[in-house]
């Protein structure tokens, strides 16, 4: 199912691009398992897009375990045997009016019979277009509601908390859904929910890109996008659980850091002009809103 | 003394640039202390350069303490009162033939009478010019030798270990000296050593910039510099002790992340061509050499 989803999402992304094709790399992890990375670079629409499937096993240090789950499982052991499979994806378009999108859905199992699902889909524009964000969140609210009416409010809030760049008091983007350590019901039910969420990535994100992929933009708008991509890199390298887990468990660096933008920018003490579209966007990153 | 050093280094950097001037920001830390950040942007030679003086106090969580020192001080306490002062600096030139340089010298004191010095100066070129690196390391060997003949070999090796980007098996650059948790002799002696090290930054680094600041370069060389700056950002955000300490103790984000390059780049699975100058440089990052 993961492989089918990977291929169908890549196909949709290639169609939107109308030029570039995904390249596929199969890789084996020294300490157990492997994966299939598909990356598209230098496209018409996409600067960098990647969809990564991985099925790994081995032992993870307690530190990595703590980074991966909020439940302390197998306390007292130094290293815990585990297996994990998942699909993750980041899409960075060129146009500053096209948002970046990320999703990740994964299942972990550790020795002793513990298991949990984690995942989410979130959107990171550089500018706020309310109807786009309402559409994106709306698709995920519908997906959630089909499985549990409590999911969307809970997972939307969780995304707002998770994607916070703590040292800045701002989120990397405008959220979506996020959950981790989910094991409160039959695993097949959670699996069906994850499948539904993966299968609605294109419906949630595709129309926004189609709408904006040919928007004109200024040099200043591109520069603002680059500054936001600096924030994206900051979040991923300092706080992202999957990135930290991967780097600390000898994951394949290139597949993990595929999530980083092709280009990023940092300017000292940059503040957008009051009342500008950049300031309006930043306000939405600092003060999460209800979109649906 | 820190303030004098800050001003004289800034003056030397402005002279090399021949255009841009440092802007000064005084800041106060909510939880105690403050600092003086001096930043130069958009120069002829420098894309971004900053020299930051800070004198802070407060309490630090054990986690931050562990990130700051390898000695477990005041074990058993959740938060430890501390004070710290230091001078730190990062210089990112525009020209890919001009190396980035960083230094940081600091004194920590915690409740209970513990204290230690930490610091170092290191160089991060994008290309290997042996005589430049020999000059840089040579100046620091001389500084070290004046205080203890064991310092240079020990601190050079420490820099090679410290500046390792573990998940890549490569260092961010070509090292220099690094030490932490230094308290094995009279504090005045260590202070004199730190002072000597700070006072030789310009002698070690300035001539290399003067030599290369007008070198011509290709688009490909600029791209390689950008990729190396991606590595620099990776190191700072994932591994750098000072950065992690600062972000976790409510330091001033803009002063801490002043160290990030203005622009950075990540390409999926990039490898320089065998036998190229880029590959030669990378080899020196993966296999530390003796320069003096």
Digit-coded pLDDT (tens) for B68-94: 666 655 556 678 888 999 999 999 999
Q: Which one-letter DSSP state was computed for residue A268?
A: T
Provide the mean pLDDT of chain A: 93
Report pLDDT for A62.
Answer: 75
Q: What are phi and psi of A251, to 5 degrees?
A: -65, 175
Which residue of A41, A261, A268 is in closest CB contact with B39? A268
Interface contact A264-B268, CB threshold 8 A: no
pLDDT in tens, A27-62: 998 888 899 999 999 999 999 999 999 998 888 777
Two tokens, residue B7: 């001003």
Using a CB-CB cut-off of 8 Å, the residues of chain B touching A39 are 268-269
B166 touching A (Cβ < 8 Å): yes
CA distances from A35 to A7, A120, A252 (A): 14, 20, 9
pLDDT in tens, B12-71: 999 999 999 999 999 998 888 899 999 999 999 999 999 999 998 888 777 767 766 666
Report pLDDT for A16.
Answer: 96
Interface contact B25-A269, CB threshold 8 A: yes
Interface contact A269-B39, CB threshold 8 A: yes
Report pLDDT for A112.
Answer: 78
A56: three-class secondary structure by DSSP: strand
In the predicted structure, residue A18 carries a pLDDT above the cut 90: yes
> pLDDT class for A63, splitting at 50, 70, 90?
confident
B271 touching A (Cβ < 8 Å): no
Interface contact A50-B268, CB threshold 8 A: yes
From the list B92, B97, B102, B135, the catalytic residue is B102
- Strand pairing partners for B92? B48
Give the up-direction half-sphere exposure of residue B197: CA atoms within 13 A in the CB hemisphere: 34
> Which residue of A lies nearest to B253 if distances are taken between CA atoms?
A167
In three-state form (DSSP H/G/I as H, E/B as E, the rest C), the secondary structure along chain B is: CHHHHHHHHHHHHHHHHCCCCCEEEEEECCCCEEEEEEEEECCCCEEEEEEEEEEEEEEEEHHHHHHHCCCCCCCCCCEEEEEEEEEEEEEEECCCCCCEEEEEEEEEEECCCEEEEEEEEEEECCCCCHHHHHHHHHHHHHHHHHHCCCHHHHHHHHHHHHCEECCCCEECCCCEEEEEEECCCCHHHHHHHHHHHHHCHHHHHHHHHHHHCCCCCCHHHHHHHHHHHHHHHHHHHHCCHHHHHHHHCCCCHHHHHHHCCCEEECCCCCCCCCCCHHHHHHHHHHCCCCCC
Is residue B271 flagged as an active site residue? Answer: no
Helix (H) or strand (E) holding A154, with range, is: helix A151-162
Report pLDDT for A60.
Answer: 78
Report pLDDT for B174.
Answer: 98
Report pLDDT for A72.
Answer: 58
The ipTM, to two decimals, is: 0.93
pTM comes to 0.94
CA distance A40 to chain B (A): 9
Task: Tell me the C-alpha distance between B268 and A50, whole Å.
Answer: 9
Task: Tell me the C-alpha distance between B84 and B117, whole Å.
Answer: 10
Report pLDDT for B74.
Answer: 54
From the list A57, A92, A97, A102, the catalytic residue is A102
Helix (H) or strand (E) holding A265, with range, is: strand A263-265
CA distances from A212 to A95, A178, A216, A278, B147 (A): 8, 26, 9, 17, 62
Asked if A196 contacts A2 with a C-beta cutoff of 8 angstroms, the reply is no
> Which residue of B lies nearest to A37 if distances are taken between CA atoms?
B268
Interface of B with A in 96-115 (CB under 8 A): none
Please report, rounded to a whole number, the percentage of residues in chain A having pLDDT higher than 70. 96
Domains of chain A: 2-286 (3.40.1500.10)
Across the beta sheet with A114-124, the strand order is A23-28, A33-41, A46-61, A79-93, A100-110, A114-124, A176-182
CA distance B252 to chain A (A): 9
In the predicted structure, residue A73 carries a pLDDT above the cut 90: no
Interface contact B263-A261, CB threshold 8 A: no
Two tokens, residue B89: 């600096």
Using a CB-CB cut-off of 8 Å, the residues of chain B touching A258 are 268
Report pLDDT for B73.
Answer: 56
In the predicted structure, residue B156 carries a pLDDT above the cut 70: yes
Two tokens, residue A155: 């997972």
pLDDT in tens, B183-204: 999 999 999 999 999 999 999 9
B20 touching A (Cβ < 8 Å): no
> pLDDT class for B166, splitting at 50, 70, 90?
very high
Provide the mean pLDDT of chain B: 93
């Amino acid at each position: 199912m993961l492989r089918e989803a990977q291929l169908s999402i890549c196909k949709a992304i290639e169609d939107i691009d109308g030029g570039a094709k995904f390249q596929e790399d199969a890789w084996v992890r020294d300490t157990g398992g492997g994966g299939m990375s598909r990356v598209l670079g230098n496209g018409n629409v996409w600067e960098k897009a990647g969809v990564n499937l991985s099925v790994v096993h081995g032992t993870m240090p307690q530190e990595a375990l703590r980074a991966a789950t909020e439940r302390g499982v197998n306390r007292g052991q130094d290293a815990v045997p585990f297996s994990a499979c998942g699909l993750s994806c980041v899409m960075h378009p060129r146009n500053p009016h096209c948002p970046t999108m990320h999703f990740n859905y994964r299942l972990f199992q550790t020795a002793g019979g513990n298991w949990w699902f984690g995942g989410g889909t979130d959107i990171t524009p550089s500018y706020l277009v309310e109807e786009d964000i309402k559409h994106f969140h709306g698709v995920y609210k519908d997906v959630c509601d089909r499985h549990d009416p409590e999911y969307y409010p809970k997972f939307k809030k969780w995304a707002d908390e998770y994607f916070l760049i703590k040292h800045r008091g701002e989120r990397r983007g405008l959220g979506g859904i996020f959950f981790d350590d989910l094991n409160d019901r039959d695993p097949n039910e959670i699996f069906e929910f994850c499948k539904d969420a993966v299968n609605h990535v294109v419906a949630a994100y595709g129309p926004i890109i189609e709408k904006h992929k040919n928007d004109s933009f200024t040099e200043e708008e591109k520069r603002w996008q680059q500054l936001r991509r600096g924030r994206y890199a900051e979040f991923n390298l300092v706080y992202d659980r999957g990135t930290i887990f991967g780097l600390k468990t000898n994951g394949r660096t290139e597949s993990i850091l595929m999530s980083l933008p092709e280009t990023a920018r940092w300017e000292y003490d940059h503040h957008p002009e009051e009342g500008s579209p950049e300031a309006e966007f930043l306000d939405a990153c600092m003060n999460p809103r209800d979109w649906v």
